[in-house]
Structure 1
Amino acid sequence: MTHSDLSAEMAETDAWISACLRKDPPDGLRHPPLDTAALISRVAYHGVVGLLAEDAALMARLPDEVAQGMQDIARGHAFWELAHRRLLTRLAPDLAAAGIAPLILKGTALAYLVYDKPALRPRGDTDVVVAEADYTRTQQILKAHGFSLAFAPGGQIVSSQCSYERHDGHGLHHVIDLHRQTNNHAALAGVFPYAELRARAEPLDGLAPMLLRPGLVDAMLFACYHRFMHIAKPITVTGTSHLSENRLIWLLDMVRIARFLSDSDWETLVVRAREKGLLRICHGSLVAARDWAGLDLPAPVLQALESAPPDEPPMRFLRAGRAGRLMANLAATPGTGQRLGFLWETAFPPAAYMREAFGHAGRPEPLPKLYLRRAWRGLAALTQKGGTDL
C-alpha cells in the first residue's frame, strides 16, 4: 500500500469515526473501513473509545468484535480514572497546606468540568502548572507521594517542565507533567502566563476544590492553542504513532466548552485572542471543530477570526524552523547569565538526559559519543521549516 493510499484510508476512517460521534453513522457500519485491530487503534488514538462505547445503538450495529473491543477499553479507562482520581485527591491537600495553588490544564481539567463522566475524556497524564517559586516544593511533594522522575530534563533553563510517574498497587501507570510555565518554549511562555490564568481561575470542584482550573474562555483559547502546537507532530497512543492535526477528542473538548459559553464569553474570547496573537490559530482550530465535531460556531465570531493577520507572533515562531525558534527562545530568555546558560544547555544537555535520550539501554557509551550522535541528528533538523499552513 502506498503512502497516499494509506493516507486516503485513514482519512476515510477518520470521517467514519467523526460521523459516528455526531450521531450520523455512515452506511455500511457492519463493514468498517479498517480491520478490527486497526480501527480500534485509530479510535483509541482519537480518544473517543468511551464516547462511542456509550452509544448502545451504535454498538448494536457494529461488528461484534469491534463493539466488544471498544467496550473492553472503555472499562479500562473507567478503572484507571478511579485510581487516578484517588491519587490527585490525596495530593491536593498537601499542596494546599504548602500554600501552593496548582492549576490543572487540558484533559484532566476538562474531564471534570465539561464531560458527564470523567472517564470519557481519556488522557495519558495530568498537566499541572504552578508558580515558579513553588516548582521545587511541588516536586518534593510529588516524591513524598511515591512519584519519581519519568525521565531526566534537558536542563534547568531550556526546560520548564518535568514528568513524574508512579505505578499504583494495581499496576496502573500515572503521570503528572509539572510545569512552571505553560509552554516549554521561552518565546511562547508569555502567551498564557501562570499569574494571568491564576487570576481568572476557578476551583475544580468536580475533582477537588483545592485544585484550580482555567476559566471557560481561557480553557477554550488553550484548547485551540494546544491543538495547533501538535500540528505535524506525531502522537503515540497505546504504543502506536499517529499523525493527524484533527485529533477528535481535542475538537470535542472545544464543542463541550462551547456549550457553556455565553455571547459575552465569545466576545471576550475574540478580544483575548487578538491580544495574544491567536486569532488565526483559533480560526483554524474552531473551524476544524465545526467541520469534524459539530461545533456551533457563532457567525460573528467566525467573521472576527477570519480577519486575522497572517503574521501573528505565535504563527511566525512556529513557522520559523528549528534554527529560527532557537534564536527566538534565546532572545526571550531574560538576562545575560540565563542566556549563556541557555546556550550551554542547548549545546551540552545534562549527562543523565543524554544517556536516556541518545543512549542504548544496557550498553554504556562514552558521553562524547552521545553528544556527537545528537549533533549529527540535529544538523538536519536545524534546516527544516516549521509548522503549518493555517
Structure 2
Amino acid sequence: MDIVAAAHPRLVRPLTQPSLAGFLASLTAGAALPPLTAAAWELLGRELLTHDLAPFAYARLRATAAWGEIPPGARAALSAAFQASSVRTYFLENELAHVVASLAAADIPVMLLKGAALGRLVYDSPAERPINDFDLLTPPGQVDAALRILAARGYEAQGLFWLSAWQRRYRAEAPLICRTPERWRLLIELHWTLVELPYYIDAIPIADIWATAMPAPGLPGAYVPDPATLLLHSCAHVAFHHSTDARLLWLLDVDRLARRAALDWDMVLTRAAAWGLTTVLAGRLASAQAQLDTPIPPAVTQRLQKAPRQPWEQRMIGLGDEKPGRVWRRAWVSWQAFGGRQRVRYAAWLGLRSLLWLPETVVRRRQQRAAARFAPVRPSYG
C-alpha cells in the first residue's frame, strides 16, 4: 500500500507495511504522514539506511511535530545515522577544503560534482547527502598539474595515469587513492570531462560547463555546476553507471533538483538535446515523478515526448556498469555512435590502449598488494 494513498482521512489503523517511495514523497512535499506501527517504523528505518536516506529523513522529521510520535527506537536509530553522517561529513569537508586550497594555490580551477555539489546546492546540509569519495572536475589542460598537486598531498593515481595525455583521450577521470595514514584509502576521482563514456567527451563542450559554473556555497575557491547541468549529470551518471541499482538516494537527487525554483528547464532540455541525453533525462524524470511525485511542468513533459533522439541513446544505458563484457560492449556502442573520422581516431586509440592492458593490470595489482601490506583496511566513508 502506498503511504501517500494511505494517508486518507478515513484511515483508522496504523500502517504495518509502509512504502519507502511514498514516505519520501510525503516528506519532500511537506505532507502529513500517516500513523505507523512500531514494527513499520523499524522496517522503514532499515530501508532508509539501505538507501542512504536516514540522514535526510532525520533532518526533515526532526523539525516537525511528527518527530514526537515516532517510536523511541526508531528516533534513536535515525538520530544515530545523522550523527554518524555528520561526523563523517566533518572529516570529508575538512579534507575537501585542504584539497581545494592546494589546487587554488596553483591557480587550478576545481568544480565539485555529484554528491559534493548536491549536498551544498539542493540539501540543507552536506550531512544529509552521504558521499563515499570526492568527484572533482578540472580543465583538461590542467590535469597533469592537478595530479602533481594531489600526489604531493598523498593521493596516488591508480594504473598508468602518469603517462602522456593521449592515454586520457577517450577517458573521463583518473582515480586517486590517498596513502597517508590519517586519510587512508580516501578516493578522489579527478574528472576532465562531465560524462564518463567515450562518446560524450567530445559531445559535451567542457567550456560550456565552466562558463555557467557557480561558486560553491561554503567552500571558497571551488565551483559547482549550474542546476541544469547538475540535473543532467545526475541523470546520466545513474543511467550509465548504476542502471540496475534501485537506491532511492539518486532519485531523490533528481527530485530535489527538479523542485528548485531557479532551475532553467529550457536550458535543461536544450543541453539534453545537444548532448544526446534526452533519453536518460526523460527516463529519470519519469521515474522520479512516478515514485516521488516530483513536479515536472507539463510543458517539459510534452517537449520530451516530441524531442528527437539519436538511435544509439538507449544502447548507452548501463554501458558503465561494472559487469563482465561491458568493456567490449562499451567500445562497440561508442564506435557506432561516433561518425566519420572520429571512428578512426577512436579505433586507433583502442588499439594503442590494448597494448597497455597488461602493464596497467600489473601496476594496479602491485598497488593493491602494497596497500594491503602496509596499512590496515579502514571503513569506507558514506
Which deviations, in whole Å up to 9, do the C-alpha atoms of 1:20-78 show, x marking residues without a partner? 6345545534123875xxx6554234221111122135554444444323322211211
Which letter maps to 2:53?
V
**Whole-Å Cα distance in 2 between the matches of residues 130 and 305 of structure 1?**
31
Correspondence for 1:18 among 19, 24, 27: 24
Shift of 1:289: 1.8
Change in Cα spacing, 1:343 to 1:67, as seen in structure 2 (3 Å) is farther
1:91 aligns with 2:99: yes
SS at match of 2:332: helix
Percent of aligned pairs with the same amino acid? 23
- Cα deviation code 1:103-136 (max 9, x no counterpart): 2112111211222111111111121121222111
**Structure 1 position 145 matched with structure 2 position 156:** no
1:220 aligns with 2:231: yes
1:167-191 deviation digits (Å, cap 9, x = unpaired) = 7876686322101222332112234
- Worse-superposed segment, 295-304 or 50-59: 50-59
- TM-score when normalising by structure 1: 0.73
Give SS of 1:124's match. coil
The AA in structure 1 aligned to 2:256 is R
Q: Displacement, 1:348?
A: 5.2
- Tell me the equivalent position of 2:55: 50
Unaligned runs of 5+ in 1: 1-10, 234-242, 363-390
1:267 positional shift: 2.2
Q: 1:268 to 1:344 in 2, by over 3 A?
A: closer
Aligned partner of 1:113 in structure 2 is: 121
Contact 1:130–1:194 under 8 Å retained in 2: no
Q: For 1:77, what is the secondary structure of its paired residue?
A: helix
Deviations 1:73-111 (A, max 9, x none): 211211122222222222223322323221211211121
1:67 counterpart = 2:108:
no
TM-superposed CA distance for 1:360, in Å, is: 9.7
Cα pair 2:243 2:318 within 8 Å, conserved: no
Letter in 2 for 1:202: M
Residues 187 and 328, structure 1, Cα contact 8 Å, conserved in 2: no
Shift of 1:335: 8.9
- Using the TM superposition, give the Cα deviation of residue 350 of structure 1 relative to its aligned residue in structure 2, in angstroms: 4.2
- Give me the whole-angstrom Cα distance separating, in 2, the residues matched to 1:276 and 1:266: 15
- Mapping 1:1-390, distance limit 5 Å: 14-15=20-21, 17-18=23-24, 21-22=27-28, 23=31, 25=33, 27-32=35-40, 40=45, 42-54=47-59, 55-56=61-62, 57=65, 59-149=67-157, 151-152=158-159, 156-157=167-168, 159-166=171-178, 174-208=186-220, 210-233=221-244, 243-244=245-246, 247-262=247-262, 265-309=264-308, 311-318=310-317, 322=326, 323-330=328-335, 332=338, 339-346=347-354, 349-354=357-362, 356=364
2:67–2:75 contact (8 Å) kept in structure 1: yes
Whole-angstrom CA distance in 2 between matches of 1:329 and 1:277:
13
Q: 1:114 to 1:350 in 2, by over 3 A?
A: same
Deviation, 1:309, is: 4.1
2:374 paired residue number: none
Are 1:152 and 1:356, in contact at CA under 8 Å, matched by a contact in 2? Answer: yes
Q: RMSD across aligned C-alpha pairs, in angstroms? A: 3.6
Q: Secondary structure at the match of 1:72?
A: helix
Cα distance in 2 for residues equivalent to 1:33 and 1:77? 20
The separation in 1 between residues aligned to 2:313 and 2:129, in whole angstroms, is 28
SS in 1 for 2:202: coil
Q: How far apart in 2 are the matches of 1:93 and 1:67?
A: 38
Q: Tell me if the contact between 1:182 and 1:192 (Cα under 8 Å) persists in the aligned partners.
A: yes
- Mapped to 2, the partners of 1:358 and 1:223 lie a distance apart of 33
| TM-aligned CA distance change 1:109 to 1:153, over 3 Å | farther
Letter of the 1:314 counterpart: E
The 2-side partners of 1:254 and 1:312 are apart by 25
Q: Secondary structure at the match of 2:40?
A: coil
Quote the offset at 1:218 in angstroms: 1.4
Partner of 2:6: none
1:205, distance to aligned residue in structure 2 (A): 3.2
Tell me the CA shift for residue 197 of structure 1: 0.3
Compute the TM-score of the two structures, normalised by the length of structure 2: 0.74
Segments of structure 2 that go 5 or more residues without pairing to the other structure are 1-16, 320-324, 371-382
